[in-house]
Amino acid sequence: MNQNLEVCTFNLNDFNSAIQHNITRIELCSNKGVGGISPEINEVKYATSKGIPIHPIIRPRPGNFSYNKKEIQHMINYISHCKELGCKGIVFGILDKNYEIDLINCKKIIRESKDISKTFHMAFDMTKDVFDSMEKIIDLGFDRILTSGKNKSAIEGKEIINELAIKGHNRISIMPGSKLRSSNIDAFTNNNFIHEYHSSCYINNKFSEIELNKLIKKIFS
């Protein structure tokens, strides 16, 4: 199966640097300090004009991943704009107040995004039982899960990530992320059930094209 590298960018400078390289797609975010929130629509418009698949994060605010009716409607409206601009996918996650998958609201977002790719983001790692959560996410119709294996970094959560990938094989893609770098990605490239990888390519709090090139060599060689 083809290998895929998703690069997460938090501003257009990093975006412009990343797209000069042989990557699969961009997760488009803003505000790295809060873990990423939805970029401005004008940034989405700019990004989609560059000919690379764009998956914006659909997160209207920092904080938890439980949203009220107004926020859900805002997310739906935002997705509609993203689809009009040519986004190939979206990245989102909604939990209820018990830190379980919010099936009702996820279904609302899924209905709005039928024809594009859907990633459930790292809100997944906050759920109590990730294996049960994976089954719910599969049933909802997501294409992949971005996860650090319930740990601060993907490498710390590698055992859970690898087990998720095996159990989800041929049903959903498990994409490791969080501090995934060229120095540790071998922990996942040796797993035949993982074929997608997510990295911001930050070194010393700055986007690094050198690091990106190292990742590309590790993944695609």
The whole-model pTM stands at 0.97
> How far is the C-alpha of 119 from the C-alpha of 166, rounded, in Å?
18
Q: What is the pLDDT of residue 21?
A: 98
Burial class (CB in 10 A: 0-12, 13-18, 19+), 204: exposed
CA distances from 39 to 45, 59, 60, 99, 218 (A): 10, 9, 9, 25, 29
Please report the domains of the chain, with CATH numbers, ordered by start residue.
4-220 (3.20.20.380)
> How far is the C-alpha of 197 from the C-alpha of 191, rounded, in Å?
12
Whether residue 148 is predicted with pLDDT greater than 90 in this model: the reply is yes
Work out the angle at residue 29's Cα, subtended by the Cα atoms of residues 26 and 32, and round it to the nearest 5 degrees.
120
> How far is the C-alpha of 15 from the C-alpha of 33, rounded, in Å?
17
Residue 152 confidence class, pLDDT cut points 50, 70, 90: very high
Write the pLDDT tens digit of every residue in 53-101. Answer: 999 999 999 999 999 999 999 999 999 999 999 999 999 999 999 999 9
Could you please report the per-residue DSSP string of 87-112?
--EEEE--B-TTSSB-HHHHHHHHHH
Whether residue 1 is predicted with pLDDT greater than 80 in this model: the reply is no
To the nearest whole percent, how much of the chain has pLDDT over 90? 98
Q: What is the pLDDT of residue 109?
A: 97
> How far is the C-alpha of 2 from the C-alpha of 19, rounded, in Å?
19
Residue 221 confidence class, pLDDT cut points 50, 70, 90: confident
To the nearest whole percent, how much of the chain has pLDDT over 70? 100
Rg (CA), the chain: 16
Residue type, 136: K
Write the pLDDT tens digit of every residue in 157-182. Answer: 999 999 999 999 999 999 999 999 99
